[in-house]
Amino acid sequence: MLRPLSILLLLLTCAPWAWAGDALTEIARQEQWGFNFRTQAYRNAALRQLLPDSSLSSLALGGSLVPVSVARVPQLGDGARSLQVEATSMQRLGKTDCVWGKAGYRGGVTRHVKWNETSDFLLLYPYVMGDEKGGDLTHEQYDLWGGYSCVKGKMHWGATMGYRAVSEFRERDPRPANTVAHLRASVAVGVELLGRYALATSVKAGRYKQTNELLFMNELGAEKEYHFTGLGNEYVRFSGASNKAFYKLSQWGTSIELLPLQASGLSVSAGYEHGAMEKVLTELNRLPLNSLTTHDTRLELAWQKPSMGVKWQGQYMSKTGHDNLFGDATGNVYPFIGARKQYRESNLWLRLCGFYEGNDALPCKWTWGLMPHLDFMMHKSRHHDSGNSMASTHFTCGLDARASLSGKKNRLSALSSIARRNALNHELVLNRVATPQVGSMLQAIDHRASCDEWTMRLMVRGDLDVWAGKVISAQVGWQHGIFLKNVHFNEYEIKILFTL
């Protein structure tokens, strides 16, 4: 797979170089770290006009392969392969208006998923269905996303809307048939201050639904499906009683951003999102089994000049879960008695990073950049009735490096990175679990979290202007990691892009 790419890169390297054309220059500029360094601030649709990009449309075809290795989290599988098609476009309608959009498809297989038969595991945890057997899980995902932004005098306006649909299934027992529909939208408004800054606020909302149903076709009978309630515990009364569940999630949030009108300056972005989820057993007269409340707070402070910048990011997310209590059934109707708070989780993530980019104005134009970063992560979770708890703290330091060589008709670029994650502390307390196998799974996750990890990545890309600003690109990437001292994992990706 790498040999044809090596030939392509060799041809690009040996080609006669000159100054880059407009299309290649725009691609190169948008790949630099300084272009979108204020990642959170530019998500405000009212400020999208301030992102210094030109009209550009692209179609990408790609695939990735993750060979089977030791699973860090068995619920997410130990390997995968996928194919992706994505079309993106950004068009400036004039000096004051722009529209953008994305449409994508991803399909593939996740290997050896255990203790989880529910889609979007990280979003809905701990209230998922699962079993020890599991198996490969086939998935298909469709994404549609679009937005509009405009400036009228000193006022900025914007809106976005997106939809995601997912289908996941397995062709042997246990056979989940999961369907997901996720709709999100936001509106934003801003105003210019003192001719130097724009202050904007946004309001967002979302609606999520998932049908999670399992079927057994083995004539010898079905296995027990567990309705998990966190850290290895189950809802004993209803585990095995129903294999059909329905999830509904309502989301809303707000954000406020302060962004300089020019490329240089200090930017501030703060946002908050709230989620309220309910798990319902459809076969038991739509019995509301669990509820989960999520609070997500984010903050970003960034100072930037055209060729350098520094940024501090922080995120704190908490989950609170309740188990609903019911009386004895009458005619398949379970009277609601009350709710008990059973699960609590908190996650803290902090990052400090910076970048520096330079170029050498030679006939062959070189650009290069460095981005060091430091990360701190802390996780705590507890199940109240059982007293089970898990905690871990990690510190990561890393360095990314980028270089590119641009010509009139072609461009060659490379990205490399290296990072080391250190486990500062970890703790696991298990007093009661649904089965000994679930306890062993949690102990394995804790053991992997207690070990340090190295991660390395290399990506090489070639761009060629084939006709009148139409660019074709080829990109390959490889990521390698080492954890548990001698366990290795790899991820390979390849992508072909057409840019108009």
Over the stretch 430-469, which tens digit does the pLDDT of each residue have?
A: 999 999 999 999 999 999 999 999 999 999 999 999 988 8
Q: Which residues contact 4 (CB under 8 A, 6 or more apart)?
A: none
Tens digits of residue pLDDT in 316-343: 999 999 999 999 988 778 999 999 999 9
Phi-psi region of 282 (alpha: psi -120 to 50; beta: other; left: phi over 0): alpha
Q: Minimum mean pLDDT among 64-73, 213-222, 473-482: which range?
A: 213-222
pLDDT of residue 484: 85
Tens digits of residue pLDDT in 282-293: 999 999 999 999
CB–CB of 458/477 below 8 Å? yes
The end-to-end CA distance of the chain, in Å, is 27
Q: Of 351, 361, 429, 434, give the one whose Cα is nearest residue 394.
A: 351
Residue 385 banded pLDDT, cuts 50, 70, 90: very high
Q: Cα–Cα distance between 404 and 369 in angstroms, integer?
A: 9
pLDDT of residue 6: 38
Sequence letter at residue 86: E
* For range 358-362, the mean pLDDT: 63
* Dihedral sign (CA 39, 41, 42, 44): positive
Share of the chain above pLDDT 70, in %: 95
Q: What is the pTM of this model?
A: 0.91
Compute CA distances 486 → 112, 448, 452, 481, 483, whole Å.
21, 12, 11, 10, 6
Torsion angle in degrees (nearest 10) through CA of 304, 272, 120, 179? -110
DSSP β-bridge partners for residue 228: 234
Q: Which residues contact 337 (CB under 8 A, 6 or more apart)?
A: 325, 326, 327
Residue 360 banded pLDDT, cuts 50, 70, 90: low
CB–CB of 197/261 below 8 Å? yes
Q: Cα–Cα distance between 44 and 259 in angstroms, integer?
A: 10
Q: Which 3 state secondary structure label does DSSP give 466? A: strand
* Dihedral sign (CA 417, 491, 427, 295): positive
pLDDT of residue 364: 61
Tens digits of residue pLDDT in 454-464: 999 999 999 99
Sequence letter at residue 384: H
DSSP classification of residue 15: S
Cβ atoms within 10 A of the Cβ of 234, count?
Answer: 20
Q: Cα–Cα distance between 62 and 203 in angstroms, integer?
A: 34
pLDDT at 110 over 90: yes
